[in-house]
Structure 1
Amino acid sequence: MAAEEGVVIACHTKEEFKNQMTKAKDAGKLVIIDFTASWCGPCRIIAPVFAELAKKFTDAFFLKVDVDELKEVASEYEIQAMPTFLFIKNGEKIHTHREARLRHCCFRLRLRQ
């Protein structure tokens, strides 16, 4: 699955996730990962905002990971609550965000780049 500008990419396998992370790192792009769960009410509420941000910040990779589907990935990043938004640049975690103020966080991090 190729990264497309303005689109949230749902990763359903660890291989898909690793491939997207490698593409982003090779391109020097910011990755914003939405760790979510199908049973999580706040996750469903914030999903349209995450999609809106993907359209606005087309120079970043926006990935969605279901913690029940990719338990190993969630464990690797020590995800303990949903939704959790992880910001990664050049393979390094630069920020973790667990609140609904996602728009503000994206704008703030974009200014730091």
Structure 2
Amino acid sequence: MGSNLFNVDSSSELSNTIITFHSKAEWNAHFNALEETHNLMVVDFSAKWCGPCKIMDPFIQEFAAKYTNAEFIKIDVDELMVSQAFQVQALPTFILIKRGKVVDRVIGVRKEELQRMIEKHTT
């Protein structure tokens, strides 16, 4: 693997940014750096084979475009083994983190619930 340890996925027509990580070291460095900010981090734990995850993808794209004061991160649980640290047991799982602490979680295809949680923690 080269020096490109993470990439920004902006393949949607929306002007959004969702960060994906392909290195545990890069994820850890990014996570630790965000402990110092007040910004909300929304981590989408999913997998390529997960049908419900695919259903939520357009909504995550929409939220990333709408809530620009939050950071959206997508982690493929098969590629980057960090889900155990967050006690992820079902997909998709959305973990909302502020200052390094989990403040909420949404499990499954629950667009409205996820949106409520994002709004709650970005205001």
**Shorter-normalised TM-score: what interval?**
0.7 to 0.9
Larger radius of gyration: 2
CA displacement at 1:12 relative to structure 2? 1.1
- TM-score when normalising by structure 2: 0.79
Contact 2:104 2:117 in 1 (8 A): no
Q: Work out the number of aligned pairs and report it.
A: 112
Following superposition of structure 1 onto structure 2, how do residues 53-72 of structure 1 map, counting pairs within 5 Å?
53-71=63-81
Q: List runs of 5+ in structure 2 lacking aligned partners.
A: 1-5
- TM-score when normalising by structure 1: 0.85
Indicate the percent of aligned positions where both proteins have the same amino acid: 33
Pair 1:6 & 2:22 matched? no
Pair 1:43 & 2:43 matched? no
CA RMSD for the aligned pairs? 2.3
Structure 2 distance, partners of 1:78, 1:70, is 14
Structure with the bigger percentage of helix: 1
Structure 2 distance, partners of 1:24, 1:56, is 20
Q: List runs of 5+ in structure 1 lacking aligned partners.
A: none
Pair 1:90 & 2:88 matched? no
Structure 2 distance, partners of 1:43, 1:2, is 19
